Amino acid sequence: MNTTHLSLCCILLSILISTATAAPPPVLDIEGKQLRAGADYYILPVVRGRGGGLTLAATRNETCPLDVVQERLEVKNGLPLSFRPTNGKKGVVRLSTDHNIKFSAASICVQSTVWKLHFDESIQKYTITTGGVEGNPGGQTLSNWFKIEKYDDDYKLVFCPTVCNYCKVICKDVGILVEEDGLRRLTLTDTAPFKLFFKRA
């Protein structure tokens, strides 16, 4: 093999390796800026007239834990949230990677405002509640990790954690369930993802 051919092979190999290990694209806010881990953002609906941002509310006739719900009025931004990737040192929030999502607000409940998945027996659905563990990715914190994915030109949230290699997980989009009293709860769905965008708080 001559030197030129060897050099060409090395270049092609380096391109293949860099492509295979390239980081997923960054998530962008409404102004086109990259979402930063630890910074505060509002999660807002793309479709107008169907509620506002995300906030906390007592449901299931229980005071605590507080569940993640959508504001009924679209003029309300809800509460600011922050994102923490599995590697807390990573500064950019990226697509298709596991993140903790946490409300940057105090709660009346003596527990964290980190999101986690909960199966609500009363409605036979997986809902999003709070009280999750921040960090410590693995089998014991499986219910606390969410992904951001592209949805047309906007985004959606997905529960499909990859923080545990041996765990069996469900993979579904996050949607909005409107209950009889008008409460808009975040639940897992197969049919209607919550189409959203991010706005810096």
Tens-digit pLDDT profile for residues 49-108: 889 999 999 887 778 889 999 999 999 999 999 999 998 767 999 999 999 999 998 888
Residue 166 domain-assigned? yes
Q: Using an 8 Å Cβ cutoff, are 127 and 187 in contact?
A: yes
CATH code (residue 114): 2.80.10.50
Residue 1 domain-assigned? no
Instruction: State the pLDDT at residue 10.
Output: 40
Instruction: State the pLDDT at residue 62.
Output: 77
Instruction: State the pLDDT at residue 4.
Output: 47
Show the low-confidence residues of the chain (pLDDT under 50): 3-20
The domain tally of the chain equals: 1
Instruction: State the pLDDT at residue 21.
Output: 64
DSSP state of 191: S
Helix, strand, coil percent content, the chain, rounded in steps of 5: 10, 35, 50
Residue 60 domain-assigned? yes
Measure Cα distances from 77 to 12, 24, 35, 70 in Å. 49, 28, 17, 9
Measure Cα distances from 27 to 37, 100, 145, 146, 174 in Å. 11, 15, 16, 14, 17
Distance CA 49, CA 51 (A): 6
Helices (H), 130-188: none
Residue 32 domain-assigned? yes
The boundaries of the domain holding residue 92 are 28-200
Among 137, 127, 130, CA closest to 102: 130
Residue 18 domain-assigned? no
Residue 8 domain-assigned? no
Instruction: State the pLDDT at residue 30.
Output: 97
Neighbours of 192 (CB within 10 A): 10
Residue 46 domain-assigned? yes
Residue 167 domain-assigned? yes
Give the strand pairing for 41-45 and 54-57.
Answer: unpaired
